[in-house]
Amino acid sequence: MSEIALIGKKIGMTREFYKSGQSVPVTVLKMETGRVIQVIEQEKRGYKAVQIGFGKIKNNKLSKAMKGFFAKKNTEPKKILKEFRVDNTETFKEGNEFGIEIFNDIKFVDVRSKTIGKGFAGAMKRHNFGGLRATHGVSISHRSHGSTGQRQDPGKVFKGKKMAGHMGDKLRTMQNIEIIKSDKENNLLYLKGSIPGAKNSEVMIKKAVKNLRKLTIAEKIEQIEKLKKSADKKKK
């Protein structure tokens, strides 16, 4: 199950308190239940994968092709379809459902979502440029990015040059985000800190790719308390 991901909706941010009194900022995600729509075998496509559907969508918003696809699979229409490569397809069967329980034994996850769009932004806001001088011959162009090229050779502006343009609204991945707690009754997942995206935006959560020997906040607090107790015993 660690090879697949879940889709959630970003509700907002709050904080969680530990018994020690320490507060931690958390992002709250409303998780969707995933349903296996299609199991893709090596013989058919040349690779093994699982297609999973999330969310609900009205039938009149589907194309004829998608209506036929869901009717053939004998399942209700899904808003989002995601395909995940897997090593073994035997554990997945069409119609199987799974939710937040796949993160039971997982401490850290990778999160992928779209950043908040900022519209057209200048070089100072978009790339943190310093701008031109305030005086000494500079007029009107105080916040411009300055020169963008050389001369007749190469005679062009190279691709990737940092200039003004559309800022934000891009897919970004944050790795090794700690799961603070999960609420199975309400399908809520609490992640440490902030994650990209506006409220109600779609977020994809997957088991962390990197296996870091990293302590959770609860484990750190436990270690500190043990050290305090051992120090108090020595004093006595």
Q: Is the dihedral of CA 220, 222, 228, 231 positive or negative?
A: negative
Q: Is the pLDDT of residue 236 over 90?
A: no
Indicate the pTM of the whole model: 0.86
For residue range 111-160, what is the model confidence (pLDDT) as tens digits?
Answer: 999 999 999 999 999 999 999 999 999 999 999 999 998 889 999 999 99
Return the pLDDT at 213: 83
Residue with tokens 């944050």: 174
- CB 171, CB 113: distance < 8 Å: yes
Return the pLDDT at 219: 87
Average pLDDT, the chain: 91
Closest CA to 98 of 84, 112, 110: 84
What are the structural domains of the chain? 5-133+170-210 (2.40.30.10)
Residue with tokens 């908040």: 116
Q: Is the pLDDT of residue 2 over 70?
A: no
What's the chain's length in residues? 236
d(CA 191, CA 109): 9
Distance of CA 34 to the CA centre of its chain: 17
d(CA 177, CA 6): 15
Percent above pLDDT 90 for the chain: 70
Return the pLDDT at 232: 77
Of the CA atoms within 13 Å of residue 169, those in its CB half-sphere come to 8
Return the pLDDT at 191: 96
